[in-house]
């Protein structure tokens, strides 16, 4: 199984992915390998930036790596921004038991979570290539589970439980 968590920066993808992984292991004794989009970007150490071109390169790497692991029977939970519906469609077509979840969070909530001031700096024009500000966040593919995550990240357990229930794990 591949659980693909998508959403804007600070939407809670990584935090929720880690909790889902832990909860499924505790309850069902099923192991998942966690892949984080930012970590994958850093593994290659090839100085990919955040332009649309660089984001596409990273998206392809993550999708193909997830397929490789999934084909070997490894369960994956990926937390990635995933702003490319064409790669989401590729995942759905090529990865067995692919489940996609969008963590939907409004800009007001993202600004409260943004300790690094990513969004404020983008809004003020100090930085560029921020998805949700100067790069449009594209609507995900059909059959995506949509979860409202405008809640406090100090207690993500209700969101985690909702996701596990919707995935029927």
The 3-state DSSP class for residue 76 equals: strand
Give the span between the Cα atoms of 130 and 118, in whole angstroms.
8
* Residue 45: predicted pLDDT: 77
> Position of tokens 């921020």?
130
Whether 34 contacts 80, CB under 8 Å: no
> CA 106, CA 10: separation in Å to the nearest integer?
10
Distance between CA 28 and CA 24 in Å, rounded? 5
pLDDT of residue 99: 97
Q: What is the pLDDT of residue 154?
A: 79
- Look at residue 157 in the predicted model and tell me its pLDDT: 93
pLDDT of residue 165: 95
pLDDT tens-digit readout, 19-58: 999 999 999 999 999 999 989 988 887 788 899 999 999 9
Separation of alpha carbons 31 and 53, rounded Å: 33
Supply φ then ψ for residue 28, to 5 degrees.
-110, -5
Q: 40-51: string of b/e by CB count within 10 Å (b at 16+)?
A: bbeeeeeebebe
Would you state the pLDDT for residue 52?
95
The yes-or-no verdict on residue 152 having pLDDT over 80 is: no
The pTM is what? Answer: 0.94
Residues 6+ apart with CB under 8 A from 68: none
């Amino acid at each position: 199984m591949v659980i693909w968590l998508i959403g804007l920066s600070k939407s809670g993808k990584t935090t929720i992915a880690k909790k889902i992984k832990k909860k499924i292991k505790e309850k069902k004794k099923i192991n998942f390998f966690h892949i984080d989009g930012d970590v994958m970007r850093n593994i290659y150490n090839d100085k990919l930036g955040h332009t649309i071109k660089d984001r596409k390169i990273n998206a392809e790497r993550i999708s193909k790596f997830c397929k490789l692991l999934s084909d070997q029977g490894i369960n994956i939970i990926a937390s990635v921004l995933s702003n490319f519906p064409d790669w989401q469609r590729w995942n759905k077509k090529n990865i067995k038991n692919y489940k996609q979840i969008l963590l939907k969070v409004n800009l007001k909530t993202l600004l409260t979570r943004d300790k690094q001031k990513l969004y404020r700096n983008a809004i003020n024009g100090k930085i560029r290539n921020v998805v949700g500000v100067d790069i449009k966040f594209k609507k995900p593919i059909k059959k995506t589970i949509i979860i409202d995550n405008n809640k406090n990240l100090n207690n993500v357990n209700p969101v985690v439980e909702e996701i596990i229930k919707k995935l029927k794990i």
